[in-house]
Amino acid sequence: MRTRYFLMFFCVCMISLSVNSQTLMPDSYDGIPQSSKQRLFMDNFDNNNYAWIKSTSPSTHQIVDGYFLFTNDFAFPNTDGKQVNFDATGNFELETRIKFVSGNVEKYSGLFWGELIFGDKYFFAFSSLGYYKIERETGLEVTEILAPTKSEIVNQTAENTVTVRKYGDKYYFFINKNLVHTMDYEELPGKYIGFTVADNSLVQINFLRLWKIN
């Protein structure tokens, strides 16, 4: 009887170790199981609970049929975001799904994170011509981390799922579940997350989600 219970216990331990080992594949989109994620922020734009709507031109925001429509009529990129209290030194995942609707096809729209009040933040963005890039802004200075890269991974007329995963001492960047870049983690002072929209452009945003990875 003891041998039987020991074997059962051993099998349970092996299954547990097998499940836990999945969390050690941050460079694969599905390498972190949903069971290892704790939701910190989620907005599916079913309502205006997070006060995104803005009716003042030249930057108007609307929520229509479960989408956030961000119009930027400025002659330069514009951002909007929310402050979320989370441990940016820990493991986390930030994700959105965006569709370019109209405007400047050569410029970039996507995610930003790490901002305190103004200036110091990262951008991970794409253009409707099929390019993506990563930049860091410090004050008025912009540093190119990953030069514009053309890829068939980027949907030019449909939605793009844009994901930033911080795990251990690395950042992992995904577009439509495909890993496109990895770089060393560097802490930024702020907790603002949100969107950057190209000048004279309109984008349609499906959701914004932030998870803690346990």
CATH code, domain with 183:
2.60.120.560
pLDDT of 36-90, one tens digit each?
A: 999 999 999 999 999 999 887 778 999 999 999 999 999 999 999 999 999 989 9
User: End-to-end CA distance of the chain, in Å?
Assistant: 36
pLDDT of 121-167, one tens digit each?
A: 999 999 999 999 999 998 888 999 999 999 999 999 999 999 999 99
Determine, yes or no, domain membership for 10: no
User: What is the average pLDDT score of the chain?
Assistant: 89
Q: Where are the alpha helices (DSSP H) in 22-99?
A: none
Question: What is the pLDDT confidence band of residue 24, given thresholds at 50, 70 and 90?
Answer: low
Task: Write out the two tokens for 136.
Answer: 């860091």
Please give the Cα distance from 193 to 1 (Å, whole number).
Answer: 56
Determine, yes or no, domain membership for 86: yes
Q: Give the structural domain span for 95.
A: 32-213
Nearest residue to 136 via CA among 196, 73, 90: 196
Determine, yes or no, domain membership for 6: no
What is the reported pTM?
0.88
Backbone φ/ψ region at 31: left (φ over 0), alpha (ψ -120 to 50), beta: alpha
Determine, yes or no, domain membership for 56: yes
Nearest residue to 104 via CA among 128, 80, 124, 70: 128
Distance of CA 7 to the CA centre of its chain: 43
Please give the Cα distance from 8 to 122 (Å, whole number).
Answer: 49
Q: What's the number of domains the chain is made of?
A: 1
pLDDT of 11 strictly over 70: no
Determine, yes or no, domain membership for 24: no
Determine, yes or no, domain membership for 2: no
Determine, yes or no, domain membership for 17: no
Question: What is the pLDDT confidence band of residue 21, given thresholds at 50, 70 and 90?
Answer: very low
Question: What is the pLDDT confidence band of residue 17, given thresholds at 50, 70 and 90?
Answer: very low
Calculate what percentage of the chain has a pLDDT beyond 90. 78
Interior CA angle at 102 toward 96 and 108, to 5°? 50
Compute how many other C-beta atoms are within 10 angstroms of the C-beta atom of residue 196.
Answer: 24
Determine, yes or no, domain membership for 21: no
